[in-house]
C-alpha cells in the first residue's frame, strides 16, 4: 500500500471510531455500568464482534453484487415480508433519529444554557443544512473526528481507578451479583442491540454502493470493519467502566444524557466536561444524519426509486423528500416532549426485533454464488454468521418481554 | 448465439430493480404477467410496476395496492438484459416509469441548490 492509501485507511478508521458510539451505546453502556458495574463487559465484546461480522459481510456483498441491503431484503423475502421489514425498520429509524436529535439538543443546552426547545429546532436545522450542503466524506470527517473527543472517557476510565481485577473479571461471562436476573437479561439484550444497530448496516452498504465499491475495496472493507469497530468498542468499555467506578458506588441512576459527561468532569475537570459534551454532540449528530439517510435509503431501495446523496436532489426527488421528512418527524417527536433517553431505550429494544429480517437476507446472499461468485462467505464468516444469527433470533424473541417485565431495566 | 442461462423468475426477476437505458432506477419488478398457462407454452409477457401491481403480493400488498394508483405495464420485449438488475431497452420516460420522481421533482426543485 502506498502512503496515501495508508493515510486514507487510517482516516477511515478514525472516523469509524468516532462514529461507532451513538446514543444507544451511551445510554445502555452507562446504565449497565451503573447497575452491574463491570459485569457486562463481555456482552460488549460479543456485540462488537457481531457488528464486525455482519458489516464486513454486508460491505463485501455491496462491493461484489452492487446491491445495497434493502434491495436484498426485497429480493429474498418478497414484497409482503419486505414491506413489513421496511415499516418496522422505518419506525425504529425514526425513533432513533428523534433520540439522536434530542441528544444533540441536550448537549447544545449544556454547552450554551439556552432553552431546550429552541435548541431542538436549531439542532434539526443545523443537521439538515449540513446534510444538504456537505458531501458524505465531509460529514464523515467533521462528525467522526470531533466525535473522537469521546476518547476523554478512555482517560476518565483509567483515572477513575477502577479495580482492574474486577474489570478483567467482567470480560468473562458468568454469574452476576446485584440486580435481578431479568434486569441482567434486559441489559444483555440492550447492549447487543446498541452495538449491532441495523441502521449502521443500511447506511454502510448504501454508502458502499454509492461510492461504487468493487473487488479492490474488499481489503479496505475488512480492515475498516475489524479495526474501526474494535477500537470503537473500546469507547463502549470506557463508558461502562466509568459508570461502574463512579455511578454504581454512589447509587447514581443515569437517567439524563448529560450524566456521563459529569463523570468526565469529576475526573478531569472543566476540560473533561467540555470534551465529553463536544464528543457526544458530534457522535450523536452524525448518527442522526445516518439514521435519517438510512430511512430514505430503505424506502427508496424497497420501491426501486432513484436514490443517492450523489444524485441531484431534485432528480432523486422521493429520496430527498424521504430524509427531509424523517428529520421533520423527528423534530415533531422530540418537540412533543418525549425524553431522548426513554426514546433511546425503546428504539434499541425495537431495533433488536427487526435484526433477524435485516441480517437473514445478507447471510443468504453472502452464500449465493450467482451474486457473489468466488467471494462467497468463507468458513469463518459462515460459522460466525450462523452463530450470530442464532443469537439475534434469541434476543429478538426475548427483547420485548424483558422490557415489559423489567419496566425498562428498573427491575 | 447467446449462451443459454437458466433463470429462476421468482428468485432472479421478481422483486428485482428495474434500470432504464440510461442506467437510472425506475421501479421494481412488482409482478409478472404470464400468458399460456392453460395449454400452450407459458411465457412472461409483461412486467407490472407499482400501484395495483402489488395486489397479489400478500395482505400488506393488497392494502398498498389500494393506496397506489394504476400499475405501469412494460412488455417483456423491452427487457435488454437480466443480471442482478433488469435492464430495459428504453428510457424511464419513454416507458412511463418516471411519473413518481417527476411529480415530486417540481416540489424538491424549488429548494435552493436542488
- A158-203: per-residue pLDDT in tens? 999 999 999 999 999 977 777 789 999 999 999 999 999 989 889 9
DSSP code for A70: H
pLDDT digits (tens, 9 = 90+) for A308-367: 999 999 999 999 999 999 999 999 999 999 999 999 999 999 999 999 988 998 999 999
Residue of chain B with shortest Cα separation from A299: B27
Q: Which pLDDT score, from 0 to 100, does residue B1 have?
A: 45
Q: Of B8, B22, B7, B26, which Cα lies nearest the Cα of B99?
A: B26
B23: buried, middle or exposed (CB in 10 Å: 19+, 13-18, 0-12)?
exposed
Q: Of A169, A166, A181, A156, which Cα lies nearest the Cα of A243?
A: A156
Nearest to B104 among A81, A83, A321 (CB): A321
Distance CA A395, CA A356 (A): 10
Distance CA A27, CA A78 (A): 35
Residues in chain B, total: 114
B100 contacts A314? CB cut-off 8 A = no
B107 contacts A321? CB cut-off 8 A = yes
A 37-66 near B (Cβ less than 8 A): 65-66
A 309-368 near B (Cβ less than 8 A): 312-318, 320-321
Residue of chain A with shortest Cα separation from B5: A370
Region A140-157: mean pLDDT is: 92
B108 contacts A133? CB cut-off 8 A = no
CA distances to A88, A291, A347 from A91, rounded to whole Å, are 5, 11, 8
Is the interface score ipTM higher than 0.90?
yes
Q: Is B23 helix (H, G, I), strand (E, B) or coil?
A: coil
B 54-73 near A (Cβ less than 8 A): 54, 57-61, 64
pLDDT digits (tens, 9 = 90+) for B22-76: 999 999 999 999 998 888 888 899 999 998 899 888 888 888 888 888 899 999 9
Distance CA A410, CA A37 (A): 15
Distance CA A319, CA A207 (A): 14
Amino acid at each position: 500500500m502506498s502512503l496515501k492509501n495508508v493515510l486514507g485507511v487510517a482516516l477511515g478508521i478514525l472516523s469509524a471510531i468516532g462514529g461507532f458510539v451513538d446514543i444507544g451505546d451511551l445510554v445502555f453502556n452507562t446504565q449497565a455500568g451503573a447497575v452491574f458495574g463491570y459485569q457486562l463487559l463481555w456482552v460488549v465484546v460479543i456485540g462488537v464482534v457481531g457488528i464486525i461480522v455482519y458489516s464486513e459481510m454486508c460491505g463485501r456483498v455491496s462491493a461484489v453484487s452492487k446491491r445495497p441491503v434493502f434491495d436484498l431484503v426485497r429480493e429474498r423475502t418478497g414484497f409482503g415480508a419486505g414491506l413489513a421489514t421496511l415499516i418496522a425498520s422505518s419506525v425504529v429509524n425514526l425513533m432513533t433519529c428523534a433520540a439522536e436529535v434530542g441528544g444533540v439538543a441536550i448537549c447544545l443546552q449544556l454547552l450554551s444554557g439556552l432553552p431546550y426547545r429552541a435548541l431542538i429546532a436549531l439542532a434539526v436545522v443545523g443537521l439538515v443544512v449540513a446534510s444538504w450542503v456537505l458531501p458524505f466524506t465531509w460529514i464523515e470527517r467533521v462528525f467522526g473526528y470531533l466525535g473522537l473527543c469521546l476518547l476523554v472517557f478512555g482517560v476518565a476510565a483509567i483515572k477513575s481507578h477502577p479495580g482492574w481485577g474486577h474489570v478483567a473479571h467482567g470480560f468473562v461471562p458468568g454469574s452476576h451479583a446485584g440486580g435481578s436476573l431479568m434486569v441482567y437479561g434486559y441489559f444483555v439484550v440492550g447492549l447487543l442491540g446498541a452495538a449491532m444497530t441495523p441502521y449502521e448496516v443500511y447506511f454502510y452498504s448504501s454508502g458502499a454502493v454509492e461510492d461504487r465499491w468493487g473487488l479492490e475495496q474488499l481489503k479496505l472493507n475488512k480492515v475498516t470493519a475489524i479495526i474501526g469497530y474494535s477500537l470503537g468498542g473500546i469507547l463502549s468499555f470506557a463508558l461502562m467502566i466509568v459508570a461502574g467506578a463512579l455511578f454504581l458506588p454512589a447509587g447514581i441512576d443515569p437517567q439524563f444524557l448529560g450524566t456521563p459527561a459529569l463523570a468526565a468532569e469529576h475526573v478531569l475537570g472543566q476540560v473533561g466536561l467540555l470534551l465529553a459534551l463536544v464528543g457526544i454532540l458530534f457522535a450523536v449528530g452524525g448518527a442522526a444524519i445516518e439514521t435519517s439517510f438510512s430511512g430514505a435509503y430503505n424506502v427508496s431501495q424497497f420501491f426501486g426509486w432513484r436514490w443517492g446523496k450523489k444524485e441531484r436532489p431534485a432528480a432523486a426527488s422521493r429520496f430527498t423528500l424521504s430524509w427531509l421528512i424523517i428529520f421533520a418527524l423527528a423534530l415533531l417527536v422530540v418537540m412533543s416532549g418525549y425524553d431522548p433517553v426513554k426514546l433511546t431505550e425503546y428504539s434499541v429494544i425495537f431495533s433488536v426485533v427487526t435484526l433477524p429480517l435485516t441480517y437473514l437476507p445478507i447471510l443468504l446472499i453472502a452464500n449465493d454464488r450467482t451474486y457473489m461468485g468466488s467471494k462467497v462467505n468463507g468458513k469463518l464468516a459462515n460459522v460466525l454468521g450462523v452463530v450470530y444469527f442464532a443469537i439475534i433470533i434469541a434476543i429478538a424473541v426475548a427483547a420485548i418481554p424483558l422490557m415489559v417485565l423489567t419496566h425498562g431495566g428498573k427491575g | 448465439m447467446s449462451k443459454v442461462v437458466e433463470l429462476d423468475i421468482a428468485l432472479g426477476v421478481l422483486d428485482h430493480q428495474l434500470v432504464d437505458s440510461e442506467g437510472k432506477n425506475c421501479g421494481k419488478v412488482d409482478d409478472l404477467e404470464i400468458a399460456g398457462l392453460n395449454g400452450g407454452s407459458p411465457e412472461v409477457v409483461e412486467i407490472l410496476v407499482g400501484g395495483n401491481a402489488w395486489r397479489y403480493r400478500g395482505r400488506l400488498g393488497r392494502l398498498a395496492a389500494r393506496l397506489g394508483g394504476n400499475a405501469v405495464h412494460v412488455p417483456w420485449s423491452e427487457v435488454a438484459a437480466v443480471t442482478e438488475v433488469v435492464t430495459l431497452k428504453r428510457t424511464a420516460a419513454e416507458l412511463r416509469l418516471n411519473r413518481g420522481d417527476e411529480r415530486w421533482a417540481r416540489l424538491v426543485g424549488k429548494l435552493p441548490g436542488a
